Chain A
Amino acid sequence: MIEKSYDVVIVGSGAGGGTVASALAPLCRDGVTVLVLEQGARLDDHEFSGREQDMADVLYEDGGGFLTADGTMTLAFGRAYGGSTVVYTGTSLVAPERVIRAWDVPGLDYSDIVRRSRVYAEQNNVHLLAADLLNDNNRLFVQGCAEAGYHAEQFPLNVRGCKGSSLCNLGCPNAAKQGTHRVQLPSAKRQGVEVVTRAAVRRVEDRAVIVEVTPKADGQKGRPSEWAPGTYRIKAKAIVVAGGAVGSPALLLRSGLGLRLPKLGAGFTCHPAHILVGEHPDPITNDVGHPKSFFVDRAAQEGFVLETCMYFPFTTAKNLTGFGPAHSALMRAFPQLQMILVLACDKAVPHNRVTVDREGRPVVRYRFTRATIEAMVRATRASAKIFFAAGAVRVHAPSADPPVIERKDRHRVDELIDTRHFRPGKVSVSAAHLMGGCGMGRSAEDSVTDSWGRVHGLPWLRVADASLFPDSLEINPYLTIMGLADRVAEGLRTEAKTLLGAR
């Protein structure tokens, strides 16, 4: 085993790890050594081909099809230099005040989250897309919302020079999306932070991590690792875990911290989502233009959020319920499809949590609560009304049986779409907003960390990602992750003298 030593080791390079890296980078001037370990690969710009399977295989864990333990939901999360910020759509919203207040984390003030989120929104060039860059898929959503009585809002996006490839979820082929791989990590590297890719952290020990660096296989995308393949033991004065809401709790659990932290892995939420489609009589622009430009926020009132979206052929096929001729007919109508992503604002409940199997691999145990199913059904009904109001001739609704509703039945959507048709294991449910597992709180009895991401009882160990959320955020999470990660970095900077021995 090769031994190395750094002052700070950051596990993960996404919205959490990338932010901590850039916020700690100024310490490098004072001789502090900072290392970022990323288990995914670093791709060169020309490797973002936009081809669905090629990109999903290299950028997502399990190709984007990571299954929950009972196989009823797939979780999509990134595994690349930049983490999930490489594959999200760049939607940048500040956390809702009511949610942060309801979290009731001592020492976590809403105004602090807002202030930090704004810093990163500015850094990432967050703005509203110009109207001439919006496609029909988005315009029809706005039009349908207006006619059906819903208030559509435009998403602020973190893009620079967006060409409208529509391929955001496969990694922007035009380097337009301002994820940590474009902004925070390059900045950190310029200041002296070291980043090592293809480096999977197997476990955390007392002020050390055990890391497996893997070689690049023939034909694989991405650069080889910066280090030679092998097993490393890296000593560190401080360790920041930012492997995401599945990766972070799993790492700490397989490191044997479950006994001293009984809430480790608990409080997992994920905004379970359906992809709904409405078929229009004529082709629309859907596979060109930014895919996710508008949303409807009904979280506070009805427990759901609707967002425009546009997915790729396999992802679309997978998310339509059923198979055979009816399914094929919808797929053949691809150029006429309008899409809406419905997200349920699920709540942290005891039975939904991250665990590990005997080999230490993450296992996500998740069962849909009655409230979540009802929220998804309400969201599906709302979407069906929006589709029809926008002129769709038929709508695919997973919680209807049969799942296709014709225009002539548009006045019966409340009756046809019903919780009794939401059958886990039959309907496709996916989630990409993974949260919780290392929740913030008061003590080890109710949480894993304090409001600065300090793991209770282990001041050298911090958490800085969406796993900190004690409950669902009820909106796209990445700016909030950056805000919290910035706090974690500030905590480390404040304690640099005592913790790191910095000058």
Chain B
Amino acid sequence: MCQERLGRRARERHAHLAPRPCSPQLTAVPLTRAIEPVPHPVLPPVQRPFRAIALTVVPEAARLSDRGWEELERLVEHRLATQPAKTRRQVRFFIRVLQWLPLLRFGRTFTGLDATRRRRVLQAVGDAPVLLLRRGVWGLRVLVQLGYYAQPHVAAEIGYLADPRGWEARR
């Protein structure tokens, strides 16, 4: 847990946990296309739980290279950059909620759970009677799917072959 990014009350609540330095900012990676830099990235302080959530949503993401993960996170950040600051804060907060919530049931954080329990946690929260929780899981899974399936090599891997030349390319 990135202690210095927590608010005062959260720091007190998690005082028993050994503080760890924040995850480093994502390093710039060569882009297939130039895009404007993301001024306030959301994921670095919650990168570990985010990746655990991503692996639960798309298990094949385990096969991604470091470069593939960087691209996944770049696509997510790029989308979040277009959202209001409030939404970005909510996304980061919700990832933290998912990280700590399993302590109540399993005595471990989300990242400390095995794949089955992680899936069970996400499903339970995604099925919650509270709309805010359901849409939180929906939003996170859509962000993960954006980062994963919008990568052209992934599209090719699942057999998506659309080509601007249309029938000419296929016949």
Residues of A within 8 A of B (CB): 48-54, 57, 62-63, 65, 70-72, 133, 162-167, 173-174, 217-220, 283, 285, 287-289, 312-314, 316-318, 323-325, 327-328, 331-332, 334-335, 423-426, 428
Across-interface contacts of B34 in A (CB, < 8 A) = 218-219
The CA of A323 and the CA of B170, in the complex, are separated in Å by 31
Q: Of the listed stretches B8-16, B105-113, B144-152, name the one at the interface; the rest are far from the partner chain.
A: B144-152
Pairs A-B, 8 closest by C-beta atoms = A219-B34, A425-B134, A164-B166, A173-B164, A163-B166, A425-B135, A335-B159, A317-B145
Across-interface contacts of B169 in A (CB, < 8 A) = 288
User: A162 — nearest CB in chain B belongs to which residue?
Assistant: B166
Interface residue B104 (Cβ < 8 Å from any Cβ of A):
no
The CA of A164 and the CA of B166, in the complex, are separated in Å by 5
The CA of A424 and the CA of B150, in the complex, are separated in Å by 25
The CA of A331 and the CA of B161, in the complex, are separated in Å by 13
| Contact A163-B168, Cβ < 8 Å, known A424-B131, A425-B135 | yes
Across-interface contacts of A164 in B (CB, < 8 A) = 166-167
Across-interface contacts of B75 in A (CB, < 8 A) = 53
The CA of A425 and the CA of B79, in the complex, are separated in Å by 19
Across-interface contacts of A328 in B (CB, < 8 A) = 58-60
B161 interface neighbour in A63, A218, A288, A327, Cβ under 8 Å: A288
Q: In whole Å, how far is A135's beta carbon from the nearest beta carbon of chain B?
A: 9
Q: Are A166 and B82 in contact (CB under 8 A)?
A: no
A332 interface neighbour in B134, B144, B146, B158, Cβ under 8 Å: B158
Known: A48-B164, A328-B60, A334-B159. 8 other contacts (CB 8 A): A70-B135, A165-B166, A314-B149, A318-B146, A332-B158, A423-B134, A424-B131, A426-B137
B165 interface neighbour in A54, A163, A218, Cβ under 8 Å: A163
User: A173 — nearest CB in chain B belongs to which residue?
Assistant: B164
Q: In whole Å, how far is B53's beta carbon from the nearest beta carbon of chain A?
A: 10
Across-interface contacts of A52 in B (CB, < 8 A) = 150, 155
User: B119 — nearest CB in chain A belongs to which residue?
Assistant: A324
Q: Are A166 and B134 in contact (CB under 8 A)?
A: no
Interface residue B2 (Cβ < 8 Å from any Cβ of A):
no
The CA of A53 and the CA of B143, in the complex, are separated in Å by 12
The CA of A174 and the CA of B139, in the complex, are separated in Å by 34
Across-interface contacts of B142 in A (CB, < 8 A) = 65, 318, 428
Across-interface contacts of B154 in A (CB, < 8 A) = 313
Q: Are A72 and B135 in contact (CB under 8 A)?
A: yes
The CA of A324 and the CA of B123, in the complex, are separated in Å by 10
Interface residue B126 (Cβ < 8 Å from any Cβ of A):
yes
Across-interface contacts of A317 in B (CB, < 8 A) = 145, 148-149
Q: In whole Å, how far is B126's beta carbon from the nearest beta carbon of chain A?
A: 6
The CA of A57 and the CA of B127, in the complex, are separated in Å by 30
B35 interface neighbour in A133, A219, A285, Cβ under 8 Å: A219
Across-interface contacts of B135 in A (CB, < 8 A) = 70-72, 425
Q: Using an 8 Å CB-CB cutoff, how does the interface string of B110-135 with A read, 1 for contact, 0 for none?
A: 00000000010010001100010011
29 contacts between A and B (CB under 8 A): A50-B162, A50-B164, A51-B152, A54-B33, A57-B78, A65-B142, A72-B131, A72-B135, A163-B165, A165-B165, A167-B164, A174-B166, A218-B34, A218-B36, A283-B159, A287-B162, A288-B163, A312-B155, A313-B149, A314-B145, A318-B145, A323-B57, A324-B59, A325-B59, A328-B59, A334-B159, A425-B135, A426-B127, A428-B138
The CA of A38 and the CA of B164, in the complex, are separated in Å by 26
Q: Are A314 and B150 in contact (CB under 8 A)?
A: yes
A70 interface neighbour in B36, B131, B149, Cβ under 8 Å: B131
List the count of A-B residue pairs having beta carbons below 8 Å apart: 131
Bin the interface of chain B by size: 35 or more
Q: In whole Å, how far is B30's beta carbon from the nearest beta carbon of chain A?
A: 13
Provide the main secondary structure of the chain B interface.
helix
The CA of A48 and the CA of B36, in the complex, are separated in Å by 20
Residues of B within 8 A of A (CB): 33-36, 56-60, 75, 78-79, 82, 119, 122, 126-127, 131, 134-135, 137-139, 141-142, 144-146, 148-150, 152, 154-155, 158-170
Q: In whole Å, how far is B127's beta carbon from the nearest beta carbon of chain A?
A: 7
Across-interface contacts of A57 in B (CB, < 8 A) = 78
Q: Are A313 and B164 in contact (CB under 8 A)?
A: no
The CA of A287 and the CA of B141, in the complex, are separated in Å by 24
Across-interface contacts of A323 in B (CB, < 8 A) = 56-58, 122, 141, 144-145
| Contact A313-B150, Cβ < 8 Å, known A165-B162, A425-B138 | yes
Q: Are A63 and B138 in contact (CB under 8 A)?
A: no
The CA of A335 and the CA of B155, in the complex, are separated in Å by 11
The CA of A275 and the CA of B27, in the complex, are separated in Å by 37
Q: In whole Å, how far is B63's beta carbon from the nearest beta carbon of chain A?
A: 11
A314 interface neighbour in B82, B134, B146, B163, Cβ under 8 Å: B146
User: B118 — nearest CB in chain A belongs to which residue?
Assistant: A324
User: A62 — nearest CB in chain B belongs to which residue?
Assistant: B82
B33 interface neighbour in A219, A331, A425, Cβ under 8 Å: A219
User: B61 — nearest CB in chain A belongs to which residue?
Assistant: A328
Most buried by B among A62, A164, A428: A164
Across-interface contacts of B56 in A (CB, < 8 A) = 323-324
Q: In whole Å, how far is B50's beta carbon from the nearest beta carbon of chain A?
A: 14
Most buried by A among B60, B75, B167, B170: B167
Q: Are B158 and A53 in contact (CB under 8 A)?
A: no
Q: In whole Å, how far is A336's beta carbon from the nearest beta carbon of chain B?
A: 9
Q: Are A313 and B160 in contact (CB under 8 A)?
A: yes
